[in-house]
Amino acid sequence: MSDAQSKIDETVKNNDVVLFMKGTKSMPQCGFSSRVAGVLNYMEIDFQDVNVLDDADIRQGIKDYSDWPTIPQLYVKGEFVGGCDIVTEMTLSGELDEMLKAKGVAFDADKADEIRKANA
C-alpha cells in the first residue's frame, strides 16, 4: 500500500464522515463538491474534508482506493457511499437519513426534510 493509500485508509477509518473533495467544506472549488458539502453542512453533519487539490497522490489515490473515477467521494463509518449524484439521490429519497441513523451519525432531520421539500 502506497503512502497515499495508507493516509486515505487511516483518514477513512479514523473519522465517522469523510468527504474527499475539490476545495474545503468552507470553500469548495467545484460544483459537485459544493453540492455534497452543502448538503452535509446544511444537515449539520460533522465531517472531515480532504482537499484533493492539495495532493496529486491523494487525488489519484482516492480513485484507486474506492475504484470510483470521480470526486467528490463520501465515506460514512468507513463505508464508501458515493459521489455527488448518489449522495443527492440518497438525500432526496431519505436513504441518507436512514444510513446515518443506522450508523449512529448525528444530523438534523428537520434540515434533511427541508431539503426534500425544497426539491419536491
Q: Is 84 annotated as a binding residue?
A: no
What are the chain's domains?
Answer: 3-118 (3.40.30.10)
Q: What is the pLDDT of residue 2?
A: 79
Rounded distance, CA 93 to CA 88, Å?
9
**Average pLDDT along the chain, 120 residues, taken 10 residues at a time:** 90 98 97 97 98 96 95 97 97 97 97 95
- What pLDDT shows up at residue 95? 98
The pTM for the full model equals: 0.96
At residue 49, the 3 state secondary structure works out as strand
State how beta strands 73-76 and 48-51 pair.
unpaired
- Please name the residue that has the C-alpha cell 439521490: 89
